[in-house]
Amino acid sequence: IAVVSTTVGAAPNNVCHVDSTPGVCISTADCSKLGGTSHSSTDLCADSAGSDCCVFVDADNDNEHVARACAPPRVNSATISLIKEFEGFVKSPSPDPIGLPTVGFGHLCKSKGCAEVPYKFPLTEANAGKLLQTDIKSFTKCVSDNIKDAVKLNANQFGALSSWAFNVGCGNVKASALVARLNRGEKPNTVAAEELPKWRLAGGKVLKGLVRRRAAEVKLFKTASSAIAHPPKCS
């Protein structure tokens, strides 16, 4: 087995580098579909679990490497503020309203004592914010992957759906009438206003906090923005 040493560096927003060549953090399967080459390393794509650094060779110039992938943008500050408001800040792992262990701003513990969290407890708000920025990535990807490119969403609309996905989980997003209606071409504002409020149950009970959160998400969704977040830009 030949082992090749490469210099690898990861950066925010799913950007990575292999020997100074820019790439993007996506799954090996997606990289292959796009015609790229995957590179793995323990230091590579540290903030993107299950991803490798995918690099591409420009067909017009064999010496030119470019990252070409359609990755969703980071959610805007209004979205982060909304999530923080409704998740609340928890310094150390504690049960949420339905008994699930969480920490920070809604991070659902994946192991005993939230051992996967790379920060010391009790968390500072700054580190909890960093954890949230990492956690939200899989949910923005979920929203982007399951909504057709024909559906145009501005940054506030995309952010509202990302907050909803963060709260209800990707499985529910995929199976939702909300996504199905958007993909059928129905008016986004109408769909959001009618479908988001339905997601108010937790543990089989209507929670006032969820009712308020859905109302806030609808309000954000309907807030005009000139920034387009979906379909994602390909670079």
The secondary element (H helix, E strand) that includes residue 107 is strand 107-108
Residue pLDDT, tens place only, 133-188: 999 999 999 999 999 999 999 999 999 999 999 999 999 999 999 999 999 999 99
Residues serving a catalytic function are 87
* C-alpha neighbours within 13 Å on the C-beta side of residue 211: 4
Percent of the chain with pLDDT over 90: 65
Looking at the predicted structure, is the pLDDT value of residue 2 above 50? no
Mean pLDDT of 228-232: 95
How do the domains of the chain map onto residue ranges?
Answer: 8-66, 77-230
Query: CA-CA distance, 205 to 168, in Å (whole number)?
Result: 14
pLDDT at 235: 55
| pLDDT bucket at 48, cuts 50 / 70 / 90 | low
* String of DSSP letters for 37-73: EEE--TTTTTTSTT-EEEEEE-TT-TT-EE---B-PP
Structure tokens belonging to residue 3: 């082992």
Can you tell me the mean pLDDT for 50-73? 58
pTM for this structure?
A: 0.72
Evaluate if residue 12 carries a pLDDT over 60. Answer: no
CA distance 171 to 138: 12
- Is pLDDT at 39 greater than 80 in this prediction? yes
Indicate the CATH number for domain 77-230.
1.10.530.40
